[in-house]
Amino acid sequence: MSEHAPAADPKGDGFQPLRFLSRMSRSPWVCLGSAALGLTIGLNSHAVAEALTPVGEIYMALLSLTVAPIIFSALASGISAMVSSRDGSRYIVRTIRTFILGAFVAGFLGTFVATVALPSFTRLQDREFIGTTLSKFEKAAGDGDADAAEPNSGFWSFVGNFIPSNIVGALASKNVLPIVFLGTLLGLAICHIEPDKRRFAADLVGTIYHTFLTVLEWILYLLPVGLCCLMASQAASVGADAIKAMLAIIILYFVCLIVLGTFYLSAIRKITRQPLSGIWKTLKRPYTLALVASAESAIPSSMESMANFGFPKEMLRSVIPLSVAMNRPSTVVIFAITTIFVANIYDVNLTLWQTLFIAMACSVVGAFDSGEYVTMAPMIAYILLPLGLPAAAGTAIIMTIWPLVEWFPELQCIMAATANAAIVGNLADREVVMNPEGGDL
């Protein structure tokens, strides 16, 4: 799936409308324009937004259709190839180290930015208006508790979330953690079967990957339409009052996004020794797909783009899907900012040790985000309750602001994944060189 490969027609002639549609559907300007149109519709015409909601839901269902098999097959083939490679053990150690470091960097950054800036923001905003709006959304969150997934308590209950009771259920679930477990388990098992069967299993997994990759390519033809409908639906459901009340959190989140994004690009630039213009040209497609669709849908393009820099494909097929599934810095940052915000609204003066607890706890709890905000939002209770703060307030805030900003956590997730892959793949005994042609994974 090269950036310059034709969308269809291997003969190189005909199907020009499909090629044009493929280029337009992936254009950042077309996608951002579609999002802006959807936002305008959602804020100004609830009736139209309501009519567009089923279209957006159907499109999101189609995108979700490809997520599980792509992550599963990419992990299975990537883990088996990485473990079998001569640098396999070092890749694994570096992956774990990079994930832990990335989570703590995000936690301390979000806590620091919120601690410094939020008092000024809350003085500028109408606290009574914020409190009234927050109470309304707390009630709404409480009414929806039956549908929201509460976090399991205890270490063994948490571990149990990774292990599915059956394969079909795991692949049908929106929670990517069981899919990660299954893909990793299958990849390790492939390494321990007979060589002939190993090759057959690897070919089968690769065929599944490329088949669903083709399905994803077809679905992305309609990306601008789906994006417009989704944005209209979400803007209408949230409303202008929520945007105004949660403006401080939204602004500070974008500040952290810019800081972390700069850090990720700097790491890639240092390791690849490429100018920022070259990095943007290579990674433009996966970053655009993550922003306007989802991080999971950008996994194949991210692996291909990073392979163009010369990183080992067996490493990319495991590190990038693992990073997307288990290393989401946006959740860590939003947990930290939300916690400080709740403390400010309820006039709780945090001590230095409580602030350090917030940074550490957000890094640990936020690192295990399943990718779905309805299951992620209640997890902030693990941070708020020890501080004596109402858990319902944090849950309500996250469930309110997430539809407004959810496109950007997906971008941040895939940026972190590409940076993690660059750091993990930068082994001392090999050179990272630019390969403009790329190749199939």
Q: Comparing 430 with 251, which gets the higher pLDDT? A: 251
Residue 235 covered by a domain:
yes
- pLDDT for 76 beyond 50: yes
Q: Comparing 82 with 139, which gets the higher pLDDT? A: 82
Are the beta carbons of 403 and 231 closer than 8 angstroms?
Answer: no
Residue 71 covered by a domain:
no
Question: Which CATH number goes with the domain that contains 289?
Answer: 1.10.3860.10
**Res 415: pLDDT:** 92
Phi, psi of 309 (to 5 degrees): -80, -10
**Res 185: pLDDT:** 83
Name the average pLDDT for the chain: 75
Tokens of residue 84, six digits: 């079998």
Half-sphere exposure of 432 (CA within 13 A, CB side): 22
Residue 171 covered by a domain:
no
- pLDDT for 372 beyond 70: no
**Res 196: pLDDT:** 81
**Res 391: pLDDT:** 77
What is the rounded CA–CA span in Å between residue 358 and residue 102?
16
**Res 109: pLDDT:** 92
Q: What is the mean pLDDT of residues 301-329?
A: 83
Query: Model confidence at 277, in pLDDT bands (50, 70, 90)?
Result: confident
What is the rounded CA–CA span in Å between residue 377 and residue 395?
5
Helix or strand or coil: residue 380?
helix
Query: Which residues, including other chains, have CB under 8 Å from residue 238's CB and lie 6 or more apart?
Result: 400, 403, 404
- pLDDT for 259 beyond 90: yes
Query: Which residues, including other chains, have CB under 8 Å from residue 301's CB and lie 6 or more apart?
Result: 1, 3, 285, 286, 289
Greatest mean pLDDT range, 16-20, 136-140, 244-248, 412-416: 412-416
Which structural domain, as residue segments, surrounds residue 123? Answer: 40-62+97-151+224-425
- Taking only the tens place, the pLDDT of each residue in 337-348 is 989 988 887 778
Into how many domains does the chain fold?
1
Query: Which residues, including other chains, have CB under 8 Å from residue 314's CB and lie 6 or more apart?
Result: 78, 81, 82, 84, 85
What is the rounded CA–CA span in Å between residue 434 and residue 308?
6
- pLDDT for 232 beyond 60: yes
Indicate yes or no: pTM above 0.85: no
Q: Comparing 83 with 254, which gets the higher pLDDT? A: 254
Query: Is the sign of the CA dihedral 43, 58, 257, 354 positive or negative?
Result: positive
Residue 12 covered by a domain:
no
**Res 14: pLDDT:** 47
Q: What is the mean pLDDT of residues 22-27?
A: 64
Lowest mean pLDDT, pick from 132-136, 307-311, 337-341, 347-351: 132-136
Residue 382 covered by a domain:
yes
Lowest mean pLDDT, pick from 26-40, 254-268, 282-296: 26-40
**Res 152: pLDDT:** 47
Residue 105 covered by a domain:
yes
Tokens of residue 340, six digits: 């400080």
Residue showing tokens 């944090």: 394
Helix or strand or coil: residue 182?
helix
Lowest mean pLDDT, pick from 28-32, 324-328, 345-349, 412-416: 28-32
Query: Is the sign of the CA dihedral 405, 406, 411, 414 positive or negative?
Result: positive
Are the beta carbons of 294 and 406 closer than 8 angstroms?
Answer: no
Q: Comparing 12 with 140, which gets the higher pLDDT? A: 140
- pLDDT for 94 beyond 90: no
Residue showing tokens 């899919």: 179
- pLDDT for 230 beyond 70: yes
Residue 402 covered by a domain:
yes
Q: Which of 288, 253, 203 is nearest to 400 (CA)?
A: 253
- pLDDT for 278 beyond 60: yes
**Res 108: pLDDT:** 93
Query: Model confidence at 324, in pLDDT bands (50, 70, 90)?
Result: confident
- pLDDT for 383 beyond 90: no
What is the rounded CA–CA span in Å between residue 365 and residue 368?
6
Q: Comparing 109 with 12, which gets the higher pLDDT? A: 109
Vertex 373, ends 96 and 72: CA angle to 5°?
50
- Exposed (0-12), middle (13-18) or buried (19+): which is 277, by Cβ within 10 Å? exposed
- pLDDT for 11 beyond 50: no
Residue 25 covered by a domain:
no
Query: Is the sign of the CA dihedral 266, 272, 278, 279 positive or negative?
Result: negative
Which DSSP state fits 222?
A: G
Are the beta carbons of 106 and 366 closer than 8 angstroms?
Answer: yes
